[in-house]
A = this chain, B = another copy of it.
Amino acid sequence: MSKFAALNGVEAQALRQSLSLTQQQLAELTKQSLEDVVAWEANEKPMPTPVEKKLLEIDDLIEMQVVNTSDGIEALFKKEPKRRLAFVVYPTQAIYTQYNPEFVSSLPLTELYNTSAWRIKKECKLVLDVDVTLVPLDVEAYKAYREQNELKENRESRAKWAATQLK
């Protein structure tokens, strides 16, 4: 994607929307003014090249995460066949930053992680016929679960808790 010719207004808007970002979120993410974002999408001025590059890189990263995660799930299910899986997402930026810091540098906003999670859900259904449920982390319930089961805080414990949330 990163070799796209410069995006026009309708394309700039479509890219932002495909990442599930508001104009305000895009402005903050790219350190530009809201007025500038509005102007790009109205085709009144071009999106600066570094901004376009950053957004297309994020889109590429999401696509990569979708492929890698689907591959991981496929490998996992060869050993242990299941047709359902819980995938933890983070309901607020504060919770995302606290619990999923390794993703913050590549996907800075919890909305971007959700976008990725949704595409993973679609891909797993389509390619693997696995039902992925996105489970927003409930911090209190998760803490109680960890105490009950004497678990440390880590990705595996979050996944275990999330699995208990599948009906």
Asked whether A143 is an interface residue with its Cβ less than 8 Å from the other chain, the reply is: no
Across-interface contacts of A133 in B (CB, < 8 A): 5, 8, 11
Beta-carbon contact of B89 and A10 below 8 Å: yes
Beta-carbon contact of B134 and A10 below 8 Å: yes
Beta-carbon contact of B126 and A14 below 8 Å: no
The secondary structure that dominates the A interface is helix
A residues sitting closer than 8 Å to B (CB atoms) are: 1, 3-5, 8-11, 13-15, 17-18, 20, 59, 89, 91, 114-115, 117-119, 121-122, 125-126, 131, 133-134, 136
Copies in the complex: 2
The residue among A4, A8, A11 with the most chain B CB atoms within 10 A of its own CB is: A11
Q: Name the residue of chain B whose CB is nearest to the CB of A15.
A: B118
Alpha-carbon distance A114/B17, docked complex (angstroms)? 10
Beta-carbon contact of B121 and A11 below 8 Å: yes
Alpha-carbon distance A106/B42, docked complex (angstroms)? 27
Across-interface contacts of A11 in B (CB, < 8 A): 118, 121, 133-134
How close is A20's CB to chain B, nearest CB, in angstroms? 4
